[in-house]
């Protein structure tokens, strides 16, 4: 959609998404942050302090998701509803690049932790 000829459709989709995320973050944002942080903290404690493998795996799924949601909400807050289409496309491109870099870092960290876990169990 970013490179195609559906630019007016893209603008309306971005506006709709921005309004939806803004309304969620304005109305129930504080409650969701509290609930999600409690679950993520409990998973991290159970996974890495107590050594439960299931919660370690869930932590490797949930922590990057929380980071991506944070990056996305910040991008939505910066995009203005009456901005030009080119500004919205640039914001989406920056968001995609940030998510790709963040995902690469998370995969690298998960690989390092998994490899160190493998080395400590076999030696």
> Would you state the pLDDT for residue 4?
60
Q: What is the token pair recorded at 39? A: 């679950």
> Would you state the pLDDT for residue 99?
93
| Domain annotation covers residue 50 | yes
| Domain annotation covers residue 60 | yes
Domain count, the chain: 1
Q: Residue 19: which residues within 8 A CB-CB, separation 6 or more?
A: 81
| Domain annotation covers residue 34 | yes
Domain of residue 110, residue span: 7-122
Count other C-beta atoms under 10 Å from residue 111's C-beta.
Answer: 10
Which ranges of the chain have pLDDT less than 50?
Answer: none
| Domain annotation covers residue 2 | no
- Secondary element (H or E) of residue 105: helix 85-122
> Would you state the pLDDT for residue 43?
92
Dihedral-angle region of residue 51 (phi above 0 means left; psi in -120 to 50 means alpha; beta otherwise) = left
Which residues in 15-44 are b (16+ Cβ under 10 Å) and which e? eeebeebbeebeeeeeeeeeeeeeebeebb
| Domain annotation covers residue 62 | yes
> Would you state the pLDDT for residue 1?
54
Nearest to 62 by CA among 45, 81, 39, 83: 39
> Would you state the pLDDT for residue 101?
95
| Domain annotation covers residue 58 | yes
3-class SS of residue 85: helix
> Would you state the pLDDT for residue 2?
56
| Domain annotation covers residue 1 | no
| Domain annotation covers residue 86 | yes
């Amino acid at each position: 959609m970013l490179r195609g000829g559906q630019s007016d459709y893209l603008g309306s989709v971005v506006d709709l998404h921005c309004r939806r995320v803004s309304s969620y973050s304005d109305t129930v944002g504080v409650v969701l942050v509290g609930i999600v942080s409690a679950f993520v903290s409990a998973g991290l404690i159970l996974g890495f302090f107590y050594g439960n493998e299931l919660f370690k795996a869930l932590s490797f799924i949930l922590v990057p998701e929380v980071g991506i949601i944070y990056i996305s909400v910040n991008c939505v807050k910066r995009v203005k509803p009456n901005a030009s289409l080119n500004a919205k496309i640039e914001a989406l491109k920056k968001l995609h690049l940030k998510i790709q870099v963040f995902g690469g870092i998370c995969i690298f960290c998960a690989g390092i932790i998994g490899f160190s876990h493998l080395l400590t169990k076999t030696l």
